[in-house]
Structure formats: structure tokens, C-alpha cells
Structure 1
Amino acid sequence: MLLDPDERRGIDPKAQNVAMDQDHFPIVGIGASAGGIEAMQGFFRGVPETLEAAFVVVTHLSRKHKSLLPEVLARFTTFDVEAAADGVPVRPGHVYVMPAGFVMGIAGGRLTLRPLGPEGREAKPIDIFLTALAIDQRERAVGVILSGGDGDGAIGVKAIKEHGGLTLAQTADGDGPETADMPISALRTGFVDFGETAERMGERIAAHGAAQDALAGTAPREFDAALLAEVFAILRSQVGHDFSGYKSSTFVRRMQRRIGVVGAAGPLDYVRLLRADPAEVGALFRDLLIGVTNFFRDAAAFEALASQVVPKLFEGRAETDVVRIWVPACSTGEEVYSLAILLREHMLTLAEPPRVQIFATDIDERSLTVARTGLYPRTYLSAVSPERIAQHFVVEGDSAVVAKAVRDLCTFAPHSVLRDPPFSRLDLVSCRNLLIYLGVEAQQQLMPVLHYALRPRGYLFIGMAENVTRFEDLFETIDKRHRIFQARDAIPSVRLPPMTGPDTPIFAGTSQPHRRNATTHAALRHTVETLMLAEFTPPHAVVTRTGEAVHYSSRIGDHLEVVPGQPTRELAAMARKGLRLDLRTALREAIEGNTQAVRDGIGVVLPDGRLQSISLVVRPLNASGSTEPLFLVVFDEVAAPAEKDRGQALEANERDAALQGLERELGETRERLQGVIEEYETSLEELKSSNEELYSVNEEMQAANEELEASKEETQSLNEELQTVNFELTSKIEAIDQMRDDQSTLFECMNVASVLLTPDLRIRMFTAAAAQIFGLQPSDIGRSLRNFSAPIPLTWLSEEIPTVLTADRPSERTIEGADGARYRVRLMAPSRKSGRTPGIVAIFTNLQEQE
């Protein structure tokens, strides 16, 4: 059953209506440290007021710190600013700020909040939100990394880029970001579309949205074959990789994204940009390599692999043996570590498990860097059981590091599966979700290469949307539902990928499928026998450049024997005593020089005990239709001359005895030489082991360095919070100063005699008119009003103040003064908003002056 795109993204069907309502506008996730107030101010000042977008701000905050960031940001934007709440739908024209004490995500277009754990602070809150935003919004997600003091946000921008969104990071403008660690970490990942100043990011976001809307109406015919061929040629010449084997729909979709990012007028305009700007060629190359991968993707398939294949990989293996696995196109390593976890779990059940080597390769160095680190947000581990997380990961808040025991099984290296020679003698190849990006011709080249890389009866594990229907001669089905196959004992026509230069298309002239050997065995036999009838008649064999036999003649058994242990097709390994060393030397000379090599007078002990002298000839063989160099190995037996009389026979016997002695001595010498070679190989293995130990020590040192970095990040975060508090206090002080200036101006302009008093009649503030009545000076603030000569008695004020405070209502009385004038005195107690000492306002009005 086909899933709706929203269902494939894991959106709750009940929330789909919300997601549909907001699909027409982008959601911008903004990551910054708490001290990056100025960067956020610059960002919102540069956002056009007409931009239809929603903004979500995520900062590093302690649960004990109450943030005033919503109030601060509201001063610099016309958008509605509010603290985020759990379950609130995200709407355009709003800014949502993550509150302290929570970790924020998004699902179905609604924000989600989860309280922090007992540790008190999440190490990577920006990565967590941006990853959730990428999964939920895909191409409508925008990630912005502003000033900050650690590497938070680097994984988040990767997730947004993988899902087709837009990514930006702050760059220097004058003084630059307040703390540049976060933007620099994001830029180093290579997943940032634009490095911009904070003030210009809003314009970039608006331009990208407009370009995407315009590109939605681009006709498919504008991406014709000629245009794509030119783009393939540009990529091939500048980055050295041929993408003509990509599925055209995938290639066009990634190309459309870049057109929208750079704001090109259309496909033709974009091709002109590629010709002129090598940096854009690199950006398109990185976009083409982005793939979505998760831990235990298609969990049922991994369970089937664990039950049906993994135990068989270890059957009959001793502690000194090696289980070899290859994961081509490994991306950021989630699939590699998933396999390593399955293998480690089985190894723990064995008393003496063999060694395991997992070779993980990709052509994207940036993805390999992430894979080697093994650090992922907890959101990436949604398909991993809690038991496996506890056993195979080191959890750090909402981030997790793959355990060292699992990482030790994996080796990551750059490698092109379509250009470089493959690995060999592998027990399992896991090539999941690569074939779906390749066209038919590329698949026809790749599948024989994977078959060549496997041991006889090795296993192939591919993605759920992939199959090997066209390659049933190479693989037989083990589990069709979960895409597990086993290599047949066949010789594919394409044993190795063609070695091409950067300007040569890999897929040129490969329109016909190669399901069987292009040169059938009968044709090969005919070619060989024709040559043998013309020049030779002795026993012979045909080998590849790796020394593996692909054809034997009759009577070859006199010179070959079955080697104990695992079956092999290596000709030199099967050579009889006395012949092996000369055969290896001749093969190496012929293969490296592509010329004929001859060794005469070689003594070989035949199965019946006779000592036979032979001449060994190795020469290149040009078989018609063969796509791989082949070499002919001839064992020319030298016949002994006939004896004519008894004396001659005796003399010949004596010579034979002496010759046999020399041959035995020569054989012993060769055996000792073989022992030296084996000791050398053993020493080489020990050196490899020592190198692996040094690699482990280096990783431990890196882990210690990461712990120190974490401590540094924590200190920086505390410093940023202090900066934020200081900024907020400064803002409050400025506001209070402004209020005080406003009050002073107001009092100076008022012609009403008012005095602000404490309950015990001490002066707190007064107007100019009151100063004339009582003769007050600014220095009199804090003194009691009773200390001044008043024109009226103040006894009523002392008696009435408690009543005014208790009843919470004003009181008024007319009092005759000593000068004969009548004064109306009004007492008021404003509502109290704090626990401080209340203030009483006394207003004195000279009724005679009013008349």
C-alpha cells in the first residue's frame, strides 16, 4: 500500500489539517546562545514585514533563569512575539520563543515541549529542534544559526539540508558574531547554503521563498537531455564524478533545489552559472550526495538479517578468522552502526568470536566525518530500542554517541563504488537505497561488481524498494520480502569497474545488459584451444590479473593439488611443491609488465613420486569480447632423452641421483623461503594490530578532549546567560531612568501642590507648587513634613492616613490656615502592586486663589 507523504513523515493524522493549513509558508528555526541578543535583534530588523513566515527561537537557557527574551525581541519586530506553549499551532507572522526548563520540538505543525531532565540543561537543544523541524516540514524548513558558544546546530542544519530545506549561518560583519563557535561549526559541515550577516538573512529567506514559488511552474521540458548532459559534463570535469547514471527525476529535483537557492531565472540561467562559478558546481555536487538514512531503517528487514544471515557469518569461524562486510554509500553512518550492533550482539553470545571488519565507504568526505564521530541527536534513535541504546550508546542528554566497542568494528574511507576497485572476499555487502538513485545502465555495472566483491555464497542486503530481478544469474533469493540475497557461483562479465579519467563518462556505451559472460565459456575455450594448437600442446590454465583461475586444460592435475582449508581458485596457491614460488614470480612479472614471462628447469614432484622438469610460460591472452585482462599459464614438460646402451644408462642414473639431491636441496631452500614469507605476513598482521591499538588510543584521547570541550561549552553557556541577564538589567535601568525623567517633567509642568508622603509624613516627592507652600528644597526629600512651617495644621493628616490606607479610598477636608486662607486637602493611596512601603499623595488647594 502506498503511503501518503505526511504518513511517511510520521505526522499524526489528526494534526494533518494543521499541517495542510501552513504548508504554504516556511517555518524558520533560529538557533543562538542566550547571549546572542544583538544577533537576534539584527536578524529581526532585516526581516521584511511582508514575509509570510513563522519564526521559532531556540536558545541555551538554564531552568533556573527566567528569560525576558520575548519582551526584548518584541521591541525590534512588528511580528507577534510570544513564549512557546505545548501543542500550539505555528502560524505565519508569529515569533515563538522556547521557554526555560524545556526541550522543544515540532510535529504536525504544532510545537511540542518536554521538561528538562534532572541534569538541568540539554546540551544540544538547537540540534534537537532543527532535526524535528526538518522531519516535519521538509523543504519548507529554514535553519538559521546565529551567535553561540559551542557546536550546537551543526547536526540540525545537516538534517534540514537532507530534507530539502534552506540553511543559513551568521558570518562576520564588522565586529562579527558575539561568539562565533556555533556559526563556524555549522559552516564547516558544508551543509550551509548561505553564510550571511544577521541583517541580510531575512532578505535571503524572502528571495528563496519567491524563487521556489516561481520554480513550481517550470515545465519539465526545460530539463531536456542536452541540458542534463552538459551539467553531467561540468560535474565530471570539475569534481571527477559522473552522475549520468543517476535517475533523471532525482537529478532534476536536486537541481531544482539549487536553482531556488541561488535564485536563478531558470535551468538555462543555472547552467550558465555552473560554467562560470566552480563553487556552485561543488554545492550541486554536495546536494546530489545527500541521502536520508536512519538507524535500523525498515526494522523488520534488520531483524530478518539478524536471524537468517548473521549467525551463518560466524559458523565455522575460529578466533583468528575475520568476518568482512562492506557498506558502500554509507552516508553519515547510521546503517553501518546498525549492522555493527547486530554483529556485536551475536558476538557476545560466542565464547571465542572471530574478528569483524566493516568497511564503510562514500564519496562525500563531510558525511564520513560525521560517521567517524558517531554523535547523533536522540531523535535519530527513534527506531532503536531502549535496551540497545543503553548497551551500544553513551547518552548525553538528548544526544548520543555510539559506544567505542561498536565504533571499533567500523572503518570509514572515501571510495566510489562505480569508479574505484571494489573490496574482495566479503561475507556480506549491505547496499541499501543506492540502487533507487541509479539508472538501469549504472545498476547493470554495479551488480556484477558487488557479486565480484563477495565470497562464494556471500550475502547481499539491499533496500525495500530495490530488487535484483535482472541479475538472477548472479544472486539467488534468500528472503524476497526483506531483500536478502546470496551470490551464485558465477563469473560476471564485468569483474572490476572500468578505470576512467575524470573527463570520460563511465556509462558511455553500456546500453545493453550484461547478465551473462559476454565471452561464453565455449568461446573462451575455442580461443584458448586455437592458440594451443598453433603453438603449444602441454597442460595450461587461464587466470585473471588477480591470479584466479577461470579455465583449466586436461592433465592440469599433475601440476596442481587441492589446498587444505577453505576452497580457493588462486592458481599459485594450488601449485605443487617446487612450483609455487616460480609460478608466483612469473605471474607477477607478466601481469605488471603485460609481457611474456618464462622460467626453465623447474623440478616438480608428480603424484606418482617422479621428479618432472618443466618450463613455465606466462603470457597475456587477448580473448575477444573479454572486459578483463587474462593471462595464459603453460606447464611445458621437458622429455628425457632415450638411453642407447647400458653405460649411458648408468651414467644417466648417476646424473639423475645427483640432480635429485640438488632438487631436494633446492626444495628445502624454497620451503625455508616460504616460511620466511609467512613470518613476514605474520609480522605485517601484528603491525596492523599495533596500528589499530594506536588508533584506539587516539580515539580515547579524542574522547577526553570532547569532555574538556563539553566543560568549556558549559562555562561559555553560563557566561552567555550572565550576559543576557546583564543586558536585561541594563534595559530595565534605562526604562526606569526614562520613567523618572518623564515623572520629573510631568511634576515640573503641574500647577498642583502635591506631596508624596510615607505613612509617617516623610517626604518622598513633591511638585513645584508644593515647594512654594512649604518652602521645600530638593535636599528635603526624606525629612518629615512636620519639620517645616506649614500654613495649615497637619494633625488631620496624621490621623487620617491610617484610615485612607485601610479603606483604600481617598479622603478630603477643608482646613482654615493660619494666614486666614482656606485649603482643601485631599489624601489618596494608589493601589499597591508590591510589598514595598505604600506612598500617600497629599494635594493642597488654596480655595481663595481659585476664587
Structure 2
Amino acid sequence: MDQEAEPTPICAIGASAGGIGALQEFFRRIDDNLGIAYVVIVHLAPDYPSHLAEILGQCTAMPVHQVDDTPELKPDCVYVIGPDRELSITGNHVKARPFTEPRGQRAPIDMFFRSIAAARGDGFAVVMTGAGSDGAVGVRKVKEAGGVILVQDPREAEFAMMPRSAIATGVADFIEPIAGLTRRIAETLQSKKALQQTSEEDADQQIFKILAFLRVRTGHDFASYKSATVRRRIGRRMEVTRQASLSDYADYLSQTPEEAQDLLGDLLISVTSFFRDRESYAELAETVIPTLFDAHGEHGTIRIWSAGCATGEEAYSIAILMLEEAERRGVRPDIQIFASDLDEGALRTAREGRYPRAIEADLSEERLERFFLQELEHYRIRKEVRDLVLFAHHSAMKDPPFMHLDLVSCRNLLIYLERELQRQLLALFHYALDPGGFLFLGSAESADARSDLFASHARDAQIYTAKPRNKHSVELLNQLPRSHRKDLPKPSQATGRAERSPVAAHAAALESVAPPSVLVDEDQRILHLSPGAGRYIMPPAGPLTHDLSEIVRPELRGELRSALHRAFASQEANITLPVNVGFDGERRRVTMFVAAQPSEPHMAAQALVMFLDGGAVAEGEETEEVGQGDGAREVRRLREEVRSAQERLDASRREHESSAQELRIANEELQSINEEYRSTAEELETSKEELQSINEELQTVNSELKTKLDNVASAHSDLQNLINATEIGTLFLDADLRIKMLTPAVEQLFSVSESDVGRPITDFTHKLEYEGVENDARRVLRDLSPIENEVKTRDGRWLMMRLRPYRTVEDRIEGIVLSFVEITERRDAQDR
């Protein structure tokens, strides 16, 4: 029991080519008494027995076992993968099973890392020397779940491709030689123990102080983020800055201005992937995107917002689906995808659209070939996909939202927010969406907290539709500026009969003479009231509700509820029996006309309720009417009343059955949610004790980026100096033979200078005896084949003239490159 409550901390180590030596050094250096279970995953030949357990057993005093069954993880033990087996983890047991993928497609390191992220959400993931990119996808999952990522320094690795692929994902916490990795593991465990000694009350006070300072310094308030998430992230920054306690870190934060941005970056969890939750994206492609195309036609504008886009993979995934649907239909509507996030570093990656080869695990070969360009160890998104997406630094909880949207994608952001902020953010998305628009959430999120705003479209895929908006009660985030809050509609002011259009006059006339009416949705909630409808409204005591059948006058409630049920069930208009209603001491006969409104397939149903005033009821009128009528009339009246009562009874029975079914479904969902919450609580409790690790990711990445920028600046300077110093005359011409760039040496052959860039080369004279330069250039553009000619200048020099197509990075031909190399000495030698 205790073992289940306190799982053994786990360190998963992935290695491939050259990994035996690295593993031997690792286990020679690692402390044997850290209390961790080590699981080693390497690429083994499936047809030969492995002696890896024996080899590693000679390097450490810890017991080393090859996993052949389902052993229980124990502290200070090493578990090694067996031949032709993949490993997964369940609770505190590691399981060996046959591979599920063909031999050429196996990725056992990724498989085990994913298993750790799903089952434990903690631990260490170590990537060592190896060829390929196995592990690069798995480390992203472990990082997102809260684990610590350690990567061997590629300069030390015998085969650097696997460490570089892991580093390229941008989630590595530590990138060091083997000796450094073993020290980091030991230091992280010591930091966790130190943090656990902080009392709960002191920790809450210090975290409140840290968040208050962060809000003042950056303008971003994380007080409504889940406390467990905030505590883990602050703990990681504390360890990175080598602070011994939360109070020390709070002082360090106030004294170090740049630390606020570092902490902000750590709190913004920018981890995502292409087509995350493939079944959900399949549902989006099958049912949502075709609906958007149907609604807007060939020339309409489809507007989409990807909130919390991180490094852009999900925004590009939606763009790819939109392009695929456009190709299937043979149309190209105007598609606008707004992708927003707070993390500037993540947005820079998204704008660049350059991703490591590890994305091959998330994308099919067809999509990789169709929408990406391969660049050595990376893939770059093609321009047609990039042009659909606009990336912006934007806070969904503070800045005004994008408006008139057809789809909002907000995946795995709500799970980090407190419930009240979730409700407000859902209200904001509803405000931003057009009625009938779609909301796409993550697999662990739900819009059920705002069932008044969203209806389920595909529950398993977490896709919802926006119900019609009640303009009189638009709920927005408290942080929104008042200038963007939507004002209540004001009655139009008359500007004179001469200025009123016939349409406006017609509408005004209908409004003045038509019976009072109310527009409701399928849940009987009020969407709009006509000016005179308030006469029939009498809310009961207690909390105010928008349910029309609950707030009309008491005499009308039963008839109205039955009439609305019949209207929505049969989609036919119906009229109720007259009901005597008391108005300020006077009783009047009121009949209600209820008609369902036809709606589009993706729009919620609506109904119009009209109140028809049949006049005052005189005293004794009913008695006289009965006395004057014959028996047949009385029988008809009684039969009509019985029929009406029976219909109301049937409607009530159906409502009861429907309510009972909904309650059963809700009960099952609540039980499922309760189990999820219990599991989450257990994981969070474990995470609080296990996941306090030192995070040097930002410092490492910033250093690498600075080095890259320095290298780019140096390369640019070298290229400029090369152009200025070279004796090879070169002209870069576009498809119209206009000058794009030139080297100084070419000015000796053509009468051109830097100021002539953009002018046609045919406008200038040259010193060549050869007059076919223009014809050769056009032939190269036509045939895309290089041409070489030996030409002579008017001063007697010989030159080798080469013409080649000018190719861009995306392999497009945008002109030609014309170069001249002097060969006078060679020609003279040949002539002699």
C-alpha cells in the first residue's frame, strides 16, 4: 500500500549508437544511494541475446535486471530493456511487451518517455549519444507533464544526432557532459528535499509576494492559475538561480530585473505538437471545417483564433486542414487564422516555422512532403501555410479578443486556470464567436461549466458550438478594458419621417401593432424581448433566471411550458387555450402562440412566443356562457380541456423522461470527473514532492540563440566582404532581367553601379565583343539549363561567362546568376 502511495522516483535513460560507453560512464559516476529506479532503453538487435545488464552490472554496485516480465520498481536498482521488446510503465511497475510497430518504424525511447508522461507525470528523462531522433517526441511529453529533461552535450557524444534532436525541441533543462548530468540529478533531488521542509503557510505567503511582484513588473497576473502549477514553476526557477528557500528567491527576484521575465517564461508552459490528439483533429476535419466552408462559400472569409498557440504547431495544424479542405473542394476562400500567446520566445519559433525532424512522428509522409520543406535536420513550413496565420503577442485574459470568429481553438490552457477564470474565459470565447461558431478545447478540458453558452458538438473530441448570444447580458473578463465592453443596445432615435427608409418604417409599424413577443432558445432561455412583453413577466422570488417558462406570470407557466415542448418536438406552430390572468386587479383572457424558427444545421433551435390579449373577463361571464350554450357545446369544451390536459401530461412525461436520462448521463459524467479529480489529486500530491527540479533551460537556450545571432552577423559580414573583395564579376538578375545585386568587379565590364539595382540590364552598355548575353539569359530562364561561353572584351581580355538559374530556398526559379571569370592567361597558354 505504501509503495503505491509513494511511487519510486524514476530516471529513464535513452541511448543508441555509441551508447554503451556513455552508459558505463554514467553508472560509474552516479551515486548509488539516491533512491531512484533507473530504466535503460537502447536500440538492440531483435534476433540476438543482450548482455547489456551484465556489462552495466560491472560499473555500479546497484542491482541490474533485464526486464522480461512486469517487475516492481525499487529504489537504487537498474532495469534494462530486452531484445525485441518495448517498455511501458503502469503505477510502480515496468512492463515488457512485444513491439507494436514494424522494425523500421520502432521508437522504444519515445514509447517509454510517453508512457512516463501519461502514467507518472514526473521523473527524469535522459537522452544520450545516438543516431536518429528517437526520444525527441517523448521528451516534449515528459516536459509537459512536469518532468526534468537532461541531454548529453552533443560535443561529447560519439553520435550527436539524437542529443541534437532532443535539444532542438527546446525543452531540455540541462545539456551537459555525462559527469555534469549525474551532478544535476543529485542536486535536483537535494533541492526537492529542501523545498519539502518549507511549511505550507510560509510557502503560500512567499508565493503571494512573488506573484504580486511579477504582476507589477510584467503586467501579468497569475493569481488565478492553479496553485500547484504555480508552485512547481516557481520552485524550478528557485533551483535555477541557486536560491536555498522561497524567501531567498523572492529577494533575488526583487533585486534582479531580468529574473521577472525568466519567471514569466517558465510560468508560460509553451509545449505543444502537430495534430495533438489525432482523433480530435479527425473530428474537426470531418464535421467542423466542412461546415465552415459551407457557411461562407467560395468567396467568404473564415476567421479562426488559436489562443495560447505556444510555438505554433496547433495553429499550423488547423491551417493544414483548411488547405486540404480547400483543395478537395477546388476553392480558395479568404482564411484568416489569428494565433496568440504571451511567450515571445515561443512566438519567434512559430513565426520562423522551423521545426526539428522529430515532427515526423506527428505528421504523415504526405503532409510532410506537401506542407514542409526539408532542411538538413529540420523541417520548415511552406509559405502557403505560413501566410494563413498571423502570430500576435496577446493575452486572452487581459487584451480585447478577436471578433466575429467561426472557430476558437484553446487547447490545454484552461487546465492551468482556476474554475472561476475558466468560466470567464469561456464567456469571452462565446462573445468572440459568431452564433453557431465552434470552440475546440483540449482532451482534459470541457465547456460544460458554461452550458448556458455552449452546446456539445462532439463530446469525445471536446468540440462545442456557441449558442445564440443574449445581447443584454454579455459576460466579459474583469480584466477587459471598459472601452471594449459591449454597450447595451440603445433604442434608435427618430430622425424624421423623411429620413426613415421603407424597411425601417415597416419594421417600426410591425413593432407598434404586433402582439408582445419573446424569442427563446431550445433551453427556453430568453434571447430577446419585444417592448411590450414585460407586461407578461413576473419573476418569482429567489435568484434571477433567464428561463421564460419560470418568469412569466404564474397562470401562464404550465401552458407555456407545454406549448414550447410541442413546438420544439414537432417543429410546428401551436396555440394554447385561453388563460385568465390577473393584471393589477383586472382579469384578462390571454392566449399564447408558439412557433419554432427554422435554423441551419449548425445553429441552435429557437422559438417565438407571442402573447395575444383576448380582452377583459367580465364577472359571471363564464357562468352565463355555459347556461346559454347547449349540451354539445359543453361536451366539446370539456373534450378540448381533456385533450389539452392529456397533451400537457404527455409533455410532462416526456420532459420527465428526458430529465431523468440527462440526470443519469450527468451522474455518470460526475462519477468519471470525480475519478479523474481523485487521480489528479494523487498525481499533484506526488508532483509536489517529486517535481522540484533545477531548470537551466532559458539560460542555455538564450546562450545558444545569442551565439546563433553572432554567427549570423559574422556570416553576413563575411559575405559582404567577400562580395566587395572578389575579383569575380557577378550579376544577379530577376526573371525580367532586372538587376537584383552585383559585385564591384562587374562594374569593369558593364556600365552599372549600386544605384542601378532594379533597372533592366538591357539598358546598359558593356565592354564585351559578344552580343548574345541577353539571348543566353532568356534561354536559361526558358530551359533552366546552365550555359558557359568564353567571351572576349574589347580590350583583349578573355572571360569565362557562366549563366545559371537563380534558385530560392523553396526551390523556385526567380532569375539568373551571371558571372565572369578571367581566363586570359589560360587562352594565351593555349594559343602558344
Give the TM-score normalised by the residue count of structure 1. Answer: 0.48
Which of the pair has more CA radius of gyration? Answer: 1
Give the TM-score normalised by the residue count of structure 2. Answer: 0.48
